[in-house]
Structures are given as C-alpha cells and as structure tokens.
Amino acid sequence: MARARRRHGRWFDLLATVLIGLVVTGAALIPAATANSGEQTTIRGDVSIGDQRLAFFPVGFWVPGSGAIQRGQTDANGVFTLEIPTSRDGYVYAGTEPDAERAVIEADGRQVVRGTIGAKVQRPIASPLYQGWDAATARNLAGGADRLHFRLQQAGRIGGTLPVAASKVRAVQVRRLDGSVVQTPKPDGRGRWRSEPLAPGRYAVALVPVAPLLPVSVQVDVVAEQTVRADPPAPVTGATVVGTVDATQGASVQAVPVLLERSGEVVASTTTSATGGYRFTGLAAGEYTVEIGRYPAAKVSTPSPSAVPAPLATPTATPAPTASATPTPTPDPSAQVLEPAQRVSELVQPVETTVQVPETLGEVAVRSSAIPAGRLAGVVSGADGAPVQVVVEETGTGRVLRVAEAGTDGRWSAGGLAPGERYTVWAVTRPADATQARMGTTDGLATTSTTGVDVTIDRPAASLRGTVVGATGGSVAVGDPALLARSSTIDASGAYAVQGLVPGLLPVVTRARDLLPADPVAVQVVEDGAPQDLQPGPRPATYRGWFISGGDGVSIVSGTASSPEGAVVRFSSRAEDGRLQVGGLRPGVYTYDADSFEGTVPAIDGPWWFAAPTGSFTLNAGSTTNAGPVVLHVRAR
C-alpha cells in the first residue's frame, strides 16, 4: 500500500510539473501573425484549463518596476488581444497579477492558478510567480512566438484527520519549506481539516500540540484538482528532566533558581521546591545544560528605528564634532568593556550540569549539589537618616559584584559571594541632593555566615566629572543598571558631573544630543580624581536599499542584518517598489541574516519563498550607504 502511494506520488509530481510547464511551453505551438502599429505590438493568445477555454478571464502585460501597464480579459471564446508598447520588456499573465498576494482566482466555479509567460521556455518551472523569469518585449515572448497559449492549472488542497484529540493540538499549519506559515486550517469536531485552495507544489504540514507533546510535520505535494492527504504521525510526549538539588554544608535548597539551556540559549527556567526538586517537561532529544543558582538575564529592550519607504534623496551632511584644543586624557575605547552583571542566588553558588536527553524519550534524572554562597553582613553608621546603599566590590579590580540596601537601623546583608574571598565594601548615602552624598569603606572575608562587617560613613562620596568632547547636551550614565547606577546631564558647554559614586571600576556610557550612545567604556573612578573627558557616540548612519526579484521591487520585506558587535538593521515594511531607507543606525559592517527572511513572500496560497540575500555592507557614521539592488531569489522546493 505504501509502495503504491509512493508510486502515485511520483506520478502526481510528474503530472504537476508537466501541467505547470504547459503554461509557457504551449506558447510556441501555433504560429500566427503579429501586427505592428507604430510603437505598439499586438499580442494574441488564449487561456484554457485542459480542453476548455476560459471566457472573460483576466489577462495583462506586466513590466518590472511599473506593474501592469495593460489589463484586459479573454472573450467568450477564451481568446485575448493586447496592444503593448513595442519597447517595453515584461511578462504576459493570466489570472491574478504577478505581485498579488493570492495566486488562485475563481473562474466558472473552479479555483485557477495564475500563469505567466516570459522570454523563453524554462524547465523545471519553479513557480507561477514572475520573479526570477527573464522579461521580454512583446514580440519576443516565449522565444518569439506570435500566439500565446496559456494552459492553466486548477488549485489543489491538503486535508487530513488529527491523529490525536483536538484538545491536544494548538494548531494545524500548512508551511512553506522555509518554515513560514501559509495557512492555518481549523479542525472540526471530529478532528478533520482541509486547507483553502493552494497552488500545486511541495509544502509541509505541521501539528503544533499542547505541551508536553512535541511538534511533528510531514512534507506533501499538492496536486492540481485534488485534495491530497497529509498524515503526520501522532505527537509523542517530550522527555522530562527531573532534578534534585542536594544540600551540602547546610545550604538551603528552597526557591533556588534553575535554568535550562540549549546551545547557549535559555529555553526554560524555574525555581526549586521546598525539598530541592524541579522539573522541565516537553523536551526533544539533545544536549542541555542545567544551571543551578543563576537567574535569567533581564531582557533589555532597545528601541530600533523602523524601516520606512523613502525617495532616493541625498541627505544633508552633518558636520563632525570639533574636539577641544587641549583635551584631557580620555578612557581608552579598547579598554576592558564590563559585561552586564548577572543576577545570582543569594544562597548558593552557581553550578552547571550537562544533561543528555536520548532519542528514546522518557524521564531523565539529574542530581546537583547546592554549595552555600558566601555572605557579608554588618551595620552602617554615620548616615544621619539618609538612605544608604552598600556596594560589594572585587578586591583589586574594583568591579561591583553586589549591592544591598541598608535598613533604617543601618543593618545590611549581601550574599551570592565566594566563600573564603575578601571583598571591598563601600557604603554611600543617597540624599535628594546628590552633591551631598557621603561614603565610607571597609573590607571583609566572606563565609557562609560572616557578620560584623561594619561601615562608618565619614567623607564625601566620589564623583566623575569632565567634558564630553563636542557635545552640547545629553547625559552620562555611570554604573550597571542592575547594581550601582548614577547619571547626570551634559550642559551646553559639554560639561558633566556624576555625583554619589564610590571608587571602583564602572562602565560609562555617554548619550550626546543628536548622536548615538557611545560604546560603554570601563572607567576607574577614584576619590578626588582629575576631570575626565569622554568621547561622544558616533553620528547615526543610514541604510538605503532596493529589494528586487526578477527585476521588480518586492513590496513586503522582512529580515535583518547584523554586525559582529551585535548591532542590528531591521527590514520590516510595506515598502513602495521595494525601496527601503532605515536611519539612526550604528556604523559598522553588517551581514544579511539568512534565517530572518523566512516568509517574506506575501503569497497566502503558494509554496514559493524568497531565498535570503547574501553578503555584507558597511554603514559609515553620518552618511547614507546605498546598498543598491538587493536580490531575493524565488524558491519553490
């Protein structure tokens, strides 16, 4: 039975290819006269499905970059005549226009797939889209044929029955082979479903089940005039990782954060129960990492300029900022850039365990030992009623590791430290007037129960002051937002002063008016330090490109390009004629991200998609980079 189905599948595939090919190959079968009238060329032809002509069916001539310059329809006998400017290159189409979101149109109660005829017969035929075909003048269509014969196909469908109860399935999806979704059929009460009409070609059908079941999919070839059956296998229950955190040296095992990572990405997170247990369900086979004692990184949302259609105009140049005549030393941009602080458990030290989920899915047991984290605690005096922040730094480097708030009685406590390590401790007040902030310091050896690390506030807090070269406004931010963070404005002369700091190695970011934020630099803040000049960020760059396929603009573009430094250009717009301009970008070398262009083709009934553009481009500060034509190639299989 399976062998017969495979034989029939190959026969249907061959038949579909032949039928699609007839859309263009039939153009050269019957020669006829071509009449020229001045600058016009007469195109004659007919449109059929099988042996039946299609009466009053839409036809036209499509020119890349201009769209349909001539529209018409067949007569009662299915014959058409178009008068086309002799010098224009393009395609003749029958059905919906080549850039329409739907390739299928209803005619005489049948669902008919669009056809196009270009310069020559092409085998194999990739899709009924015009993109990727060579255009031709009217007299050179189909290799110079004088009469065009459209042999169109009817659409097909995909249907099936859910292999599990409908309550266990979140969605049935018909997808292109790049993974983008074409349609989402709705199953009925008995689990039966059927797609809307589809252009013949190869698709994937995916079942997206309710967790802990795993998604499944199968490929299927849609055949004209048929409803082909898709039979994805029943989703299987994913593996379960059951973990236990054992207490050692008196460590607490309750409410400890647990991360599940795969290929460096956090895929799930939880916390342990009162007995140290945790569970992750619905996992596919593969290697995972379980990390005990670390919380997920905070999601930082960085606004990005949206892509907007814009005319090809030359922007006015922005003059570069002028440096001061005698600048004071500035932080070296190549100096250490501090990584953002990671939030860890106060109670235990982070520990990682590798977990291998086998192909035979089931329950995988994991045991980890919770090692108590070091702790410092004490009392702050001398604050005179002002709020107090206690800062724990790595001795020697001055890097801030933990921050705690002192209570109204001056008591403070900070955990998540390495036992046996000595740390520098600062206490700093936070009065309403930051210029009145004061600080004090001590040190302490972290153990699992260290107390008596008392701090007396006895002198003015540290500050960072100087000039942002060439700036006339903006702000300077010092410190990590998750720990110690202070900021101040930049005045019209470029001067800034950030108050209420403690000595240490702190990241500094300048945000000068009309410029992008500067890359963070690590600055060693010291007491009574000399004024420190800072460099502003770069002038924003602008990207300009023309996304095309087959010589014509692509009206809907979705994708990204990224730089090694992590900056991203987002292409996301309904851009007129495929022209995009994106401003406010960080200078650098960018490479198009292939996976991000999935689903760019705006067709909702066809298997084709755009293969992603390749290559790189460079964005320069304060100028526009014209990336020129960005070619998207149509793929169907």
Sorted by where each starts, the structural domains of the chain and their CATH numbers stand as 2-151 (no CATH), 157-229 (2.60.40.10), 239-301+341-370 (2.60.40.10), 374-460 (2.60.40.10), 462-525 (2.60.40), 541-635 (2.60.40.10)
Position 305 scores a pLDDT of 25
Q: What DSSP string runs through 532-601?
A: --B---PPPEEEEEEEEETTEE-SEEEEEEE-TTS-EEEEEEE-GGGEEEEEEEPPEEEEEEGGGGTT-S
Position 129 scores a pLDDT of 57
Position 444 scores a pLDDT of 95
Position 387 scores a pLDDT of 95
Position 596 scores a pLDDT of 86
From residue 502, how far is each of 329, 390, 460 by CA, in Å? 21, 10, 10
Tokens read off for 108: 């005489």
Q: What is the pTM of this model?
A: 0.74
The 10s digit of each residue's pLDDT in 485-517 is: 999 999 999 999 999 999 999 999 999 999 999
Tokens read off for 356: 């291998």
The angle at the Cα of 219, spanning 214 to 221, to the nearest 5 degrees, equals 155
Nearest Cα residue to 428 out of 412, 410, 440, 413: 440
Site of tokens 């469908």: 157
Cβ pair 151, 48 in contact under 8 A: yes
Q: What DSSP string runs through 380-411?
A: EE--TT--EEEEEEETTT-BEEEEEE--TTSE
Tokens read off for 66: 């201009």
H or E element, residue 436: none
The 10s digit of each residue's pLDDT in 114-133 is: 988 888 765 544 344 555 56
Cβ pair 603, 129 in contact under 8 A: yes
C-alpha to C-alpha distance for 196 and 159, rounded to whole angstroms: 9
Position 145 scores a pLDDT of 85
Q: What are phi and psi of 406, to 5 degrees?
A: -80, 145
C-alpha to C-alpha distance for 558 and 569, rounded to whole angstroms: 11
Residues of the chain falling short of pLDDT 70: 1-38, 121-133, 298-338, 575-576, 637
Do the strands 40-49 and 79-85 form a parallel or antiparallel pair, or are they unpaired? antiparallel
Q: Of how many residues is the chain composed?
A: 637
Cβ-based neighbour number of residue 486 at 10 Å: 21
Burial track 328-351 (b if 16+ CB lie within 10 A, e otherwise): eebbeeeeeebeebeebbbbbbbe
